[in-house]
Amino acid sequence: MRVVDLRSDTVTHPSPEMRMAMYEAELGDDVYGEDPTLNALEAKAAERLGKEAAVFVASGTMGNLVSVLAHAQRGDEIILGSKAHIFRSEAGGASALGGVSFHTVPNDDRGMLDPEDVRAAVRPNDPHMPRTAAVCLENTQNACGGAALTQDDMQAISAVARETNIALHVDGARIFNAAVALEAPASELARDADSLTFCLSKGLSCPIGSIIVGDADYIQEARRWRKMVGGSMRQVGVIAAAGIVALDTMVERLAEDHANARKLAEGLAEIPGIDIDPDSLPTNLVFFEIQRDDWQDLHRQLVERGVKGGGGTSRWRYVTHYGITESDIDYTLEQVREVFAV
């Protein structure tokens, strides 16, 4: 049976060039700082994001956790959107492991925070209160339709962060999707951030890994926290090799995923029972509302026909990625049309 897996861009497999690079990678022990392939990846990532240094971590969740722990002490607080992945989908790690509490402010439809809300959330210097250590933005913002925040958005929040002497961390799991959608270099979007995490194993199609970038002292501190959470690895060049190929060959092609997402959204918009505004779609995450009570049954039927994605609630998400072709989009629309016709 034909399978079109639209559950996430995390399901992507490495390209043939990545597999070859992994096979041939020169290796060393990274805990001694001696893995040449990883060192090359970290240098490339830092340069690409316009930062002094970078450190490789096992996942986006570990990247955000280590980033927050390197900014905040036990008892501190971080400000973040109520729809932030760090708040909703990372098992409360910063609280559980770091004693850091979350202070949420509303995300608007694009995932942006209101700078005045952030300013108001920063605690005064009062011994009754937790200290505010950082504010976090997410770009693209997953739960807000995958919208890309612009450099002006970043700058508006970083201005408040500078003024109030807190750090700005960006969960840039999909920062390259934002960069491609906005036709802006990723380094521009990262410019005002003190730290930024991006994922290699989403749209960039690596099997494993994320990177944190920042200034050299901060990344040194992040290395300590990475060690503490058990994330320092040994011959990691075997996975880093894929990351180098990803940064060289997989960024520009994200435009194809965005074009496929647009085609999918436009097709879905014509199907009765589906509510979606394709004009609000900027990247590779397609969110839509099923306006039928039998959405669970519709979901089951689509999965039986090989179209995977959505479910859970009546708000579904289909994600385009390296493993999805334009013909897969045609097939998906055909199946959805048929299933929804009944």
Query: Which positions touch ligand TLP (CB under 6 A)?
Result: 8, 10, 59-61, 64, 85, 89, 138, 142, 171, 173, 199, 210
Nearest distance from C-beta of residue 163 to ligand TLP, angstroms? 26
Nearest distance from C-beta of residue 39 to ligand TLP, angstroms? 22
Burial 242-278 (b: 16+ CB within 10 A, else e): bbbbbbeebbeebebbbebbbbbbebbeeeeebebeb
Nearest distance from C-beta of residue 141 to ligand TLP, angstroms? 7
| 199 CB-near residues (< 8 Å, 6+ apart) | 59, 60, 63, 173, 174, 209, 210
Q: Which is nearer to ligand TLP, 137 or 339 (CB)?
A: 137
Nearest distance from C-beta of residue 128 to ligand TLP, angstroms? 33
Q: Which is nearer to ligand TLP, 35 or 138 (CB)?
A: 138
Q: Which is nearer to ligand TLP, 64 or 332 (CB)?
A: 64
Nearest distance from C-beta of residue 208 to ligand TLP, angstroms? 9
Q: Which is nearer to ligand TLP, 77 or 171 (CB)?
A: 171
- Distance spanning both ends of the chain, measured CA to CA: 22
Q: Which is nearer to ligand TLP, 122 or 332 (CB)?
A: 332
| 208 CB-near residues (< 8 Å, 6+ apart) | 58, 59, 200, 201, 239, 242
Residue nearest to ligand TLP (CB): 60
Q: Work out the angle at residue 210's Cα, subtended by the Cα atoms of residues 32 and 180, and round it to the nearest 5 degrees.
A: 135
